Structure formats: structure tokens, C-alpha cells
Structure 1
Amino acid sequence: MIYAIGDIHGQKTQMDRALALIGADGGTGAEVVFVGDYTDRGPDTRGVIDALIAGVEAGRNWTVLRGNHDRMFTRFVRDGVIDDPQIASGKGWLHPALGGRDTLRSYGVTLPDTDAEIRDPGLVEEIAKEARAKVPETHLDFLESRPLWHRAEAAIFVHAGIRPGIEMADQEEDDLIWIRNGWLEDTRDHGSMVVHGHTALDHPAHHGNRINIDGGAGYGRPLVPVHFDGSDWHTVHEAGRSLLWPSAE
């Protein structure tokens, strides 16, 4: 029996609710996999990471994976990097659409009052310098040390997905945390169910060979945990479990 939680994106209240649902359904000792993207867009990235660290240090049966937004956050604080070649739009981490500014605000970092993308090199370095002073080293170390994938209960858990046809040991980090093209449309059997997030939907969806559990919490939608009982997948709600049927595609 295993549970999984999709992209949290700074939504600490939604994270607490999801964990409470899991606790009511399977007990506080239930195995939980978090598939990454704890940062950006929501108001309380700091609170989310504090809670994850506390849970892991307390010995909770949690596996905490790393997502692309988590990597963007740590790269910015460490090195002032705002761009990633995987972002097709060319937007940087300090663009409002990426949500990095929401993460920095949760740590008390001062930001200009503007809706425009921040790209001025001097301003970027000034913000990064303040971030290095205010973001705890323990938060950066925690995110940087997270595994990229996890295998359990006949499933592979990963942030974005996998490169089809490639053994897990040979998968590349950029694919595991960023992939969409060549993955979302692939219908082949991957040997195990692949449970992932990264591509926001309105609700978790079962696609036969993969399950996308990013229900759009980063855009204000509920964070819905999923559960595997050894044979079937379910979503978990206040009223109990609902069978997660494969969609007709």
C-alpha cells in the first residue's frame, strides 16, 4: 500500500490537507512518495520545505523526489541562474509565470513592485545575494540531495516522466524533471506503471501506462493524493477513496 502526492508548489495548506487525508485513510505510518516541485507559484515554499525536512528527520515513511522548479530555485540561490534551456518560452525563473518571486517572498527576500520579468543583471545579482543570506543552507542541501526517481509497489515514481525505451539507470536528469515531448503521447508499456507530475491537469488522470498526479495545485486547484492498494489506483478524498479509472484515449 503506497500513496503519492503531486506538485505542491508552495501550497502548504493543501499539503497539510493531503497528508491529513492520507493519515485518515492509511494511518500516519503510511508510505508516501512526493514527486517534486515543492517551490514556486504558491505563497509558502518555505513552510512546505520545513515540513518535508521535519517529516524526513522524524523518520516518516516518505520518499521526497526532486522536480524542475526545485532545481531552478537552488540554482538561482547558489549561482544567480535564472534561465534553463529546457524552458521553450525563454522565460526566466524571475518571470511571474514561473513563480520564483513567490518562493523568494516566502523567505522574506525584497523584490521590486513590478509585474514585468526581472532580467537586469545587476538587479538579479542583488536579489540573489539577499536570497543567499535568507534561504537556509539546510533547505538548499535538502532539495539538492533529493533522488530523481523511486521504484516501489510495481510502479516507478518520477517528477516529469521518463524517456521511453531507456533503462532507468540510463535516464538523464533533464528528462526525469522536464520531459513532455516524446513522453506524454507514448502509449507503450514501460514495464511498470509510471506515476508522475509536472504537466498540470484539473485532476489526477490514469492514462493506462502512466498516471499524472499533478492536479494543478500551483494554479489554485486542490492537491489530490493517490493510493495504490496492490491492484488498483485510487484518489483519496474526505469521503474516502475513488477508483482512478484509465481514461479512454
Structure 2
Amino acid sequence: MHIYAIGDIHGQLDLLRAAHDLIADDMALHGSGQVVHVGDLVDRGPDSRGVLDFLIAGIAEGRDWVVLKGNHDRMFTRFLRNPWEPEPGLRAELSWLHPRLGGSDTLRSYGVAKAGDRPIDKVHAEALAAVPKAHVQFLTTRPTLHRAGEAAFVHAGIRPGVPLEDQSETDLVWIREPFLSEGTSFGPLIVHGHTAIEAATHYGNRLNLDSGAAYGGPLSAVVIEGREAALLTPQGRRVLPQPQVRGAWPA
């Protein structure tokens, strides 16, 4: 069994199309497989609307795609529901429209200009009129956890010591520590994004796919077989080294 996964997209439609092209090339050689997108579809990049159109259309065509919810996706829908509602996991002094978070970039892709420089009430009203209801429904109904084979796919990570079925949504889309520092096995291989690094990296107990597409880096696509993973490149598969981890995998 093999399964494909794509890291944080952040409005980079061209990179998303290229990642799917790499997957299609690999499928032509090795057979079809499910494709999991680990969330953060929107914000910072130039075409969040186009990314959602692409994903919605692919699923409607019957493609075996799973699309998870990321913290940026949740911030987007929370803003549309109530722009004054605090986002758990986000520092109190920040908001989705803060330049660091990229909400204004997302709204610009829907034709709402200068969202960070105008009264929030006006921006909110324009956003409600501009964002298709199908996009809102798609984002709000995204799962936050997907199990396949020997892997569990989430956006940010999991809280160590808490069973997968008891993880909170906020942890699944926001957590960094103590998840990133945990060196023992989580049971399944945790495949995630959220924390940008230079290149997709296998840590033995987890696999981070966020290679910084939001900041000019590549969008990583990988193929996973068991607990092994390979980065997809124009030259073919490049195996990601898999360190040993402490603790035994559960039976």
C-alpha cells in the first residue's frame, strides 16, 4: 500500500498543480493511491480561492483526495462567522488580518482589497458577499485527523500521551511543543505540516511536510509506504532517511 501526501499549500495554486503532476507521474509507474493534503490551504500566497476551486473540483470528479483542516483554514472561516471571535491558539494581540498571518492575501484573491487597512465591519461584509458558500462549507467540514495504513495525518501534530481519538481540534491544528520535541514513538507515524522547515524531513516518529511554500520554498509531495517515505521530484523518488526512535511500536 502506498499513500501520497502534500504539505502546507498557502494559496500557491501553481505549486499545488505541480505537486499533483509529480504524483500523477509516480502513479503511472507504481499504481494509484490516495492523496492527503495536510491543511493550511489558504493565506499568504496569491491564489487561495484558486486552491479551493482546484481541490473542490478534484473531489467532485471522484479523485481519492483527503483534505485536512489547518489553523489558517479555521481562522478564515472563524473570521467569516464572527471577525471579533478569538481564535484559540493565536496570540491575543494578533488577528487573522495581521500581515504575518496572510488573511488579507486570501481576501484579495476574492476581490476584497486592502482588508488590513480598513474597518473590520466593512471588510467582513464584503467578505461575506465575495466568498462562495461552497468554499465556506468545504473548509468548515474538513476533518482534522485521517488514518491510513501505518500513518496518521494531521495538520500540526498531536499532544503526546493523549489517545488519537481524544485529541482536541485546537491541538491538531495548532500544536508545536511538546509534540516537536517528543522523541518516542506515537504509535502510527504522524504526518504533519504547520512548522516550516527547509525540506520535508522524517524524524522516525513523525514526518514534517511543511517546506515553506508560504515563504518562497517548495511545496513537498511525498509517497509513504508503511513508515518509509520518499520525496517526489522531477527525477523520481528520493528516499527520506528514517531515524530510529525510542519505544516500541504498538502491536
TM-score range, shorter chain: over 0.9
For these two proteins, the number of residue pairs brought into alignment is 242
For 1:140, the equivalent position in structure 2 comes to 136
Task: Look up the match of 1:76.
Answer: 79
**1:89-168 alignment to 2 at 5 Å?**
90-111=93-114, 123-168=119-164
Q: Is the 8 A contact 1:82 1:93 kept in 2?
A: no
Q: Secondary structure at the match of 2:120?
A: helix
Question: What TM-score results when the alignment is normalised by the length of structure 1?
Answer: 0.92
Q: Deviations over 1:76-135 (max 9, x none)?
A: 1121247424123732111111000000000001326xxxx65x7xx0111010000000
User: 1:47 aligned to 2:43?
Assistant: no
- 1:219 and 2:215 matched: yes
Take 2:75 and 2:234, find their aligned partners in 1: how far apart are those partners? 34
Q: Distance in 2 between matches of 1:184 and 1:191?
A: 15
Cα distance in 1 for residues equivalent to 2:84 and 2:39: 20
Write the distance in 1 (CA, Å) between the matches of 2:231 and 2:169.
28
Counterparts in 2 of 1:81 and 1:69: CA distance versus 1, 3 Å: farther
Which 5+ residue runs of structure 2 have no aligned equivalent? 246-251
| Matches of 1:181 and 1:89, distance apart in 2 | 19
C-alpha distance in 2 between matches for 1:136 and 1:202: 34
Task: Tell me the residue number matched to 2:10.
Answer: 9
The answer on 1:186 being equivalent to 2:182 is: yes
Out of 165, 168, 185, the position equivalent to 1:169 is 165
Shift of 1:153: 1.6
Q: Tell me, which stretches of 5 or more residues in structure 1 are unaligned?
A: none
Q: Deviation of residue 185 (structure 1)?
A: 0.4
How much has 1:245 moved relative to structure 2? 0.6
Alignment partner of 1:56 out of 56, 59, 65? 59
Q: Is the 8 A contact 2:200 2:208 kept in 1?
A: yes
RMSD of aligned alpha carbons? 1.8
Q: Distance in 2 between matches of 1:219 and 1:21?
A: 21
Q: Which residue of 1 aligns with 2:248?
A: none
